[in-house]
Amino acid sequence: MRWTGEKSARFQSLREAEARGALSVAKRAELDALLSDLDADEADALRPAMDRMDARVKEMVAEKAHLDAKAHDLERIAHEEDRLLADARVYLERLRERSAALAEDYMRVMRRDPFPAR
């Protein structure tokens, strides 16, 4: 870490001078350098957390891509199931029509009801 107790005390002194409007050009440069050190220390301190966050973002992006692909596959399957059900309904209607036609043929041939009441 670049930041020390000594730098902290100097930083506070320069900030007070800045607030009073008594900051020379040299002291402004010193304050700017201290601010740069403070920023660098903060960046160093935050780096592990930022690295973990970046890794987590990458994991989540990969997981989203996986889930998007799975959702696409499930949508395709649901669409195919809908088509299968529609085909089954059409086939059932054809079977009913054929059954009705055969019942009519039977009645014509036998001249009676194919399913007499009991």
Range list of β-strands (E), 21-102? none
Between residues 116 and 51, which one has the greater pLDDT?
51
Q: Is residue 34 within 8 Å of residue 3, measured between CB atoms?
A: no
Structure tokens at 4: 């020390």
For residue range 2-50, list pLDDT tens digits in order.
778 898 899 999 999 999 988 899 999 999 999 998 999 999 999 999 9
Exposed (0-12), middle (13-18) or buried (19+): which is 27, by Cβ within 10 Å? Answer: middle
Which of the residue ranges 70-74, 91-95, 113-117 would you say has the lowest mean pLDDT? 113-117
Q: What is the pLDDT of residue 4?
A: 84
Mark 42-62 as b/e (b = at least 16 C-beta within 10 Å): eeeeeeeeeeeeeeeeeeeee
Band of the pLDDT at 63, cuts 50, 70, 90?
very high
